[in-house]
């Protein structure tokens, strides 16, 4: 299964969002899971997720963090990977 991550961000070139994107991709690599990361930079699109705190991370349609990169343990819960 390929997981969908949306990163709600003020700009596709925002340094913080670029770091978020890299960190999230690395965490999914650690879990050996496929992921597609999309940066959402339009305010009208953020409103669907009822947030003003950016960056916001949405995994498989669920808001999982606002302003921070979620931990691997949190990602595991969302993508239904049992703990070791």
Task: Enumerate residues 6+ apart whose C-beta is below 8 A from 59.
Answer: 3, 4, 5, 70, 75, 78, 79
Distance CA 21, CA 26 (A): 9
- Domains in the chain, number: 1
> What integer pLDDT is reported at residue 66 of this predicted model?
93
Q: Domain holding 34: CATH number?
A: 3.40.30.10
Whether residue 84 lies inside any domain: the answer is no
59 falls within a domain? yes
pTM of the predicted protein model: 0.86
Tens-place pLDDT, residues 5-49: 999 998 877 888 888 999 999 999 998 999 999 999 998 888 899
Domain that holds residue 63: 2-78
**Is residue 83 in some structural domain?**
no
pLDDT bin (cut points 50, 70, 90) of residue 84 is low
Q: Is residue 48 part of a domain?
A: yes
Torsion-angle region of 61 (φ positive above 0: left; ψ -120 to 50: alpha; else: beta): left
């Amino acid at each position: 299964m390929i997981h969908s991550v949306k990163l709600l961000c003020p700009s596709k070139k925002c340094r913080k969002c670029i770091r978020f994107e890299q960190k999230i991709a690395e965490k999914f690599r650690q879990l050996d899971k496929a992921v597609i990361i999309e940066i959402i930079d339009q305010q009208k699109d953020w409103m669907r997720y009822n947030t003003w705190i950016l960056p916001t991370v949405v995994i498989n349609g669920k808001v999982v963090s606002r302003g921070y990169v979620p931990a691997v343990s949190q990602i595991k819960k969302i993508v239904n990977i049992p703990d070791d």
